[in-house]
Each structure stands twice: as structure tokens, then as C-alpha cells.
A and B are shown apart, each in its own frame.
Chain A
Amino acid sequence: MPNGTEGFLLVAAAVAYLIASVGYGANLLLRRLNLARTGQYAAILAVVCHTFAIGVHCAVTRQTPFTTPAETLSASAWTVALVYLILEFLIKPKPYALGALALPASFLCLFAGAVLHQTQRSNAPITVAPELDSRLISLHVIAILFAFSLLMLAFGCALLYLVQHRMLKRKRSGGLFGKLPPLTTLETQAFSMVAFAFPLLTVGLVSGVIRAAAGGLSGAWAADPKILASTVTWLVYGVYLGLHSIAHWRGPRANYILIGGLLAALATYFMPTTAHRFG
């Protein structure tokens, strides 16, 4: 975790993310609207603190806020929470159940970013990769971050869908039954999120490819595991959209694809690479 004002703001954001997670989670279990409201206010506070923290970071370092893997994780936390809050503002009824997944994801990303930051600081000083100077790379990272956030939320919808579907098929009452959004709502929301995320993902990948080609990287980048994995991820979501729109795939099968898609996206992040560098 960085020191000074940025560090303070990030700690405040982390605490607020945690409170928001507890608020949304408790609302999911207890169905108390005031708990969801607590989560909502905490999430807004967290995003505000996090935004200022990113702003301070950019002002101090005069760099983009995603020059290292740790910063990218922190930026992911911010985009996931921000996109969730935008959706909460736009969608009725409010998708509070999704908040119970989105805000913990934000907290975990920020926490993982802080841990990674500590590790990097002790190992070596940060040097900025020349590739990251490019505006094309900024477009690449921002597009992928927002696409990832939407895909993360689509994953949340798919997860809730599968839980709800299972309870309905097993004819169970009690537990989470009656507390999750209806199946048709979850399915529609998941599809809409992927429909918005997919063009962003495409822009992110294409801008990365153009930058790689323009940057004089040899053809070896095309066979890089991380780049191959990102292509697979893109294909998974492309197949999902195709099957949903053309073959009218609905229900658990379609939602399992979304689960697989996010796993592919996470695998992409952790995939070893030689051609793709943060710094």
C-alpha cells in the first residue's frame, strides 16, 4: 500500500469496500433494505476515496494508474465497484444481490493489489515500460479493465442464476430462496453486460495487437500464452453472444459459459508471458 495521502485514501476505500460488502451481504440474507442502503452509501464512499487515491497517484507519479500488476488490480477494484454503482443507478429493481458479489470482489482486488505492491517494493524499484507511454496502451488497458468489470458482474449474475435455478429445480424453500433476483432478470442482465463488455474487450485486444505490431515486437508475441489465453477468452464470450442471439441458448447452459468465460479471463491475467509486460 503506498504511503501518504494516497495510502490513507486507499485504506479508507478498502474499509468502505468491506462495509459495503457486509451491507449488501447482510441484505441478501436478511432482506432488510436499510442494510442495502448502508452498502450503497459505503460503496459510493469507497469509489470516491479510491478515485481520489488514483488521482493523487497520477499527480504524484505523472504516470497512468496501471503501470504495475498491483496498480492494475487496484484499478480493477475501482472499475468493478464503479460499474456496479452505475448499474445500480440505471437498473430497476436495484440489483442489490449482485452488490453482494461485486463489492467483495472489489475489496479482494484492492487487498491483493496492496499485497502485491508490498512484494514488488521489497524486490526492485519500479520502472515504467516504454510501451506504456503510448496512448494506445492506455486505451488497451482502460478498455480491458471496464470489459473485465462488466464480465465480472455478468459472472455474478450467472452465479446467482445457477443458484436460483438449482433451488427451483430442487423445489427447495428457505436459505437463499426468495432472496435472489428472478431468473429472467438475471439472464437478461448477464446478456446485456456481456453485450457491452464484448466490444470493449475487442477494442482492448485490438489496440494491444496494434501497439505490439507498431512497437516492433517480433511475431513471437502471437504465440505468447497470455495473448493466446486472451484470444480464447474473447472467443468464449463471442460464442456466448452468438449462441444466445442466434441459437437462442438460455438457461443453465448459457450461464455455464459465462462462468467459464470469467475463469478464462482470470487465467489470462495469471498466465506467464514474455511478450506482454507491465514493467
Chain B
Amino acid sequence: MPRPAHRSPAAPRTSAIALAALLVCAAIAPSADPLRADARGTADDVAATTTPAVAATATPAVPARIAALRDNFEARVTRHVLDNGWTFLLIEREGAPVFSFATFVDVGSAQEVPGITGLAHMFEHMAFKGTPNIGTTDYAAEAETLEAVEAAYLAWQAADMAPRPDAARVAALEAAFRARQAEAAAFVVPNEFGELVEREGGVGLNAATSADQTFYFYSLPANKIELFAYLESERFLRPVFREFYKERDVVQEERRMAVGSRPTGRLLEQLRSAAYVAHPYGQPVVGHMSDLRRFTATDAKRFYETHYVPGNMTTAIAGAIDPATLIPMLETYFGRMPAGPKPPPLRTIEPPQTAETIIRLEAPVQPTYTEFYHRPSGAHPDAVVLAAIDDVLSNGRTGRFYRTLTVAQKQVAFTSVFPSFPGDKYPSLFGIIAVPNPGVTLETVRDGIHAELARLRDEPVSDDELARFKSRATATVLRSMQSDLGIAFRLAQAEMRHGDWRQSFDRLAAVHAVTAEDIQRVARATFRAENRTVGKVVPRAAETPDDRASTNAPSQGDAR
């Protein structure tokens, strides 16, 4: 289709966007994290993802422009909570007869324990497999075979994991499982859920799981609003775990791609596991391979029943909608979901780090340098100060890393900051990633970064830098409100995380209260050696970086 795509050319921080793909696992294809990519994609969006909360004590005014925008939204947002606890935000927008929605579920890989890592993401995949009414030729018969599949699988696994497995019996049980699996497959109408969305003109159907949350989204023509209500209530009301073990194979391939085939993927998996000794942020979102080979549909069902309760779910719908007629429809469809207790909060708190940790990964690739520091969660008053530090260090071509390391010293090709890795619901990590120029050692890169961090500790930032941070943060909020889907994301996330969609705007009050002293104080508290986990990708070949650069030089006539 002749759809033009005049996107902005790459800004210096595009490598951050590429790496951001490591943070979430998507159902269909790993498109960039929509929370980051939505505002056309480059520098400011990454910082904006942090969504820090407003400090309870300091409440200076929101900039007038944003206050006006919030008032404008005040008039067009309807918040409606069903009796079962499911929260809806309805945002009326003028324009084309279309709408987008995003459903946020307050569960991520941080809710997993050893043995079931990857299960939050696995359930997200299962939410595309249909219901008793979608995806089957005969549900009554299929349901019996699915029970048989699960019984056969559990029997096989029990035999296989016995202290002294009987090989012949294990093989027979596996064969029995495969046979049941084939019987069940005969009832499947493959991907009927997606087909229903696509047939009616739905676009952008996908979902993603991160450490903090799971979210589902797409856009439809406005006359298909009831299809949305039907499908999106149905998929969470009575999901059918058909093709579970085939889809588990698909997820294993996803892991092989996202982690197993990228040195930065392997590095960050090792790094987070080293940085977190207690908290589940140390676990990979996609899960460990041994768990992906063993967890069961029974495990997934239990996980779903615990976490997919209406009180844990927030849906924002933005576009050509009418709350007066939509709300009864939401009551009818989504009201079917029984209320359930909210799962208990996570108990574990990561203890303070007491020793610097260094991860060194050898790989047949060019070198990369990273370092990550523990920092408070997005709800902490200092989160907004860390957003300011991110901006001063790395935003645009006035950021200190670009000006000093790239332009003045010419040692680093690209630098990115991950202000809150791997999430921001719990205390997380402030990460720096640097790509050295050919021939520059990782020690030189490290020293350059450390000099910049020392400057932040030792000297107050300039008034100009502080002013740039504040005006860019304001513009970022404006830019994030350009599309139905962008608005749905921002408001749903703010509502789920902070209990009020207005935080999308009001957090700017805290942004504008940040002082140079705040930045110095937080930099001193954060950028300490014993609070640091370093990750290096080191070329495996024995040559020096200079040699590698020249030996790797491809030339025009290479393929001849």
C-alpha cells in the first residue's frame, strides 16, 4: 500500500530505542514499545516513560500550557468504575470515526517466582487463542480433549522428573501426550481472534509484557465499538488455553531471538540478575529456558485466576466514542467478569548493594560499555530528579554525554540512558550504555562517563540546562497526546499506577520544582561505586580494537 512513511531521521539516541525492545516481550512481533515510540519516536520519549509521581509535599503550579491541556481533557474524559472494580477511562476526541484502546493489567514478570518465570508473558500470548465461542469448531468436544492433553502432559512430566526416570515409560507417556495434542488440534480454528479484529478493519493488534505490567491494544473503526466490548471482555472472562504447548515453543523461539541471539540481550540478562540479589526484577521477562520447557497450562490458569481480576485492570478508550451509550455496553459486557480479591503486594525489597559488580561478556562482536546504578521507584519524589539527570546527561545534542564524549573528545559514537530499568513500579536501575568509536578502549569510555558523573556530584547544573529539561518535559507531554493510542496509553498507565489519569499532566508540577541542589544531592546518593553494576561486551578475538576495526572493514567489492 502506498502509505508514505516520512519519519524523522535518526537522532543520536536511536540505539536506546533499539535496546528498549529488550525490555518488553510482545505477542505478535517486537515492534518498539508503544509507550516509547508513540510520540514519533526519538529522544524525549525514553525519559518520559519513567512517569514519576508528583511529590506529595511540593506542589508548585503546572505550566499554564499543560494546565490548559489538562482542563481540556477534564471536559472530555469520563472515568467509570464497574461494580467488579474494572476501571474505564473514556476519552472523546474529534476527528476521524475511529478509536483506539489500551487495557493495562497490573501484573508483570515481577509477580513471578522461580519455576514459573515467563508466565506473565506466556498468558499474554494465550489471550490471543480465543474462548469457548472463538477459535473452535466444537467447544464441548474440544474442552474434553484439552483436559486429556493436560492430564497427559502432567503424567509425562511427573515421570520425566522422577528421581530415577524409567526411560521407556517416559517415552510412552510423551507419545500419549503428542497423540492427545493432535486430537485437540483438530478442533482449532487458528487465530480466529485476530481474524475477527482484522476482518472488521482493526489495526495494530498486539500486546506486550514488561516487568511491571501487561497491556493489550488495537484500533478499530468507530462503528465496531461493540466488537471491542465483546472481544475484550470475552478474552479475559473465559480464555481457553488451546495450543498451549505449541505456543510455548513459539515463546522459546522468542527467547532465542531476543536474548540468545543478541550480545546486548545476553549482557542485560546477566546484568539484572547480578544487580538484584532478592527482588524479582532480576528475572528475565521472557523467562528462563528451563521454565519455558516445564511450566504447564495448569500453572498459567492459576496465574491468570490470581492476577486477571477486574480490580487489577484499567482500560482507556480514546477517539470517536460516546460515553452515554458506551457505558451501558461496558456494564453489559465487562460487568460479566466476577470480582475477585486483588493479589497481595510484593513483599521483597532489594537490599542496598554493598559491592561493585562487573559483568564481562565475550562475544564475536564490537565492544559496548554499560553501567547501572540502583535508584528509587517511579513513585518516589526523587524520580523526577533522576529524570532531570537523564535529560542533562543525554537529551539531544545539548546533552553532556554528546557534547563531551562524542563531540569534544570523539571517543564515543553513541550514548543512551535507561533512566529506569527494567521497570519503575519498584526500585530500579539507572543505566548508561555507550558505543565506543573504533579503536577506543572501554576503560577510556568508562573514565569519560565517570568524569561526567563526578561533575554532576561536584557542581550544580547550569540554569540553562535546568530550563531545557523543564521545557522539553513540557513538550514531551504535548507530543504524547497526538494520537488516540498514545493518549490511551498515557492515561491508562497513569490511572493504574498512580490512581489518577491527571498525573499524566500534573507530574509536570514536580518537574518544574526540581532544583540544581536536588540534582547534586541525588547524583551523590546514586553514582557511587558500590551502588554500581558494570556490564561490558568485549570482542572475543585477541586483536586490539584498532586491529579489529581494520580487519572488519568491508569493502565495496567484497561480494565479487
* A, B: real partners: no
Residue ranges of B at the interface with A (Cβ–Cβ < 8 Å): none
